[in-house]
Amino acid sequence: MSFEAAKAHLEQYGLADRVIVFDQSSATVAMAAQAAGTSEAEIAKTLSFLVDDAAVLIVAAGDAKVNSSKFKAKFHIKAKMVPADRVEELVGHAPGGVCPFAVRIGVAVYLDESLRRFEYVYPACGSSNSAVRLTPAELERASGCVEWVGVCKLPEMAQ
């Protein structure tokens, strides 16, 4: 159901034709990159955090890591991921298919600056075997993000 909801959400923006369904799992960054035929960095991973008992999604480049001090400076709380057994309940998508489309009401979406260096990125589309090819601007529009943030760090070689 999550996949259908995410695809219907993208249809509202004329982007549903960009959805890709894979014959293999794309549940991790490495698997998604292999399935999409792209670099791990271009996978737009969606991370779920708890902020004041609500889910907050950070969409970041596949090679980026959340920087605890930057996260705390932005959200005024220590970075704490949503427990895996509560992700679907709080976000609307199960782990492996979490994406910023068709999320539960009240879930705030933030896009990390690490994504801006790519022409296209590949976030999941509500299932563990799907993605959608979008420009960062299309991702911004379709995700309804609150804002772009700088809460991640890149590997030394990528900076």
Residue 50 lies in a domain: yes
The total domain count for the chain is 1
Whole-model pTM? 0.95
DSSP H/E element including 81: none
Residue 156 lies in a domain: no
pLDDT digit string (tens) for the chain, length 159 residues: 699 999 999 999 999 999 999 999 999 999 999 999 999 999 999 999 999 889 999 999 999 999 999 999 999 999 999 999 999 999 999 999 999 999 999 999 999 999 999 999 999 999 999 999 999 999 999 999 999 999 999 987 544
For residue 41 the two structure tokens come to: 């960095």
To 5 degrees, how large is the angle CA 122–CA 111–CA 15?
Answer: 45
Q: What is the domain-level CATH number for residue 137?
A: 3.90.960.10
Cite the DSSP H helix spans in 12-149.
29-36, 68-75, 87-91, 136-143
Residue 159 lies in a domain: no
Residue range(s) defining the domain that contains residue 67:
2-150
pLDDT of residue 156: 76
pLDDT of residue 7: 97
DSSP H/E element including 54: strand 54-61
